[in-house]
Amino acid sequence: MNEHNHPQSKQVINRLSRAIGHLESVKKMAEDGRDCSELLVQISAVISALNNASKVILEDHINHCVVEAAKVDDKKVINDLIDAINQYVGITIKKEDGIH
């Protein structure tokens, strides 16, 4: 597995740690029988935190891995990114349409 060190790695780790802590709190709320509406609001906050962490990861990946891959015409990195985006957002971008 390749090691990826990016300028915002610490920020991503901190965001993920907060999301994990928040999710543990939501789990405790569910165990305590808290109101479903409260749970949904808190789950929404966890999802938002994860989406924000994903944005930082994507930004770093594009600014570092993809830029470097483009310099050496490494289409695998771009294809892998397309696969990840397809899975993340639930759409299908044809690889041949995205790489010229």
Q: Is the pLDDT of residue 19 over 60?
A: yes
pLDDT digits (tens, 9 = 90+) for 34-59: 999 999 999 999 999 999 999 999 99
Residue 1 lies in a domain: no
Cβ distance 22 to 42 under 8 Å?
yes
Query: pTM for the whole thing?
Result: 0.75
- CATH number at 42 reads 1.20.58.1000
- Helix (H) / strand (E) element for 39: namely helix 36-61
Q: To the nearest 10°, report the CA torsion of 87, 89, 90, 96.
A: -70
94 vs 31, more confident: 31
Residue 2 lies in a domain: no
Please identify which residue in the block is written with the tokens 């944005």: 55
Residue 71 lies in a domain: yes
Full domain range(s) for residue 86? 9-98
Question: How many domains does one find in the chain?
Answer: 1
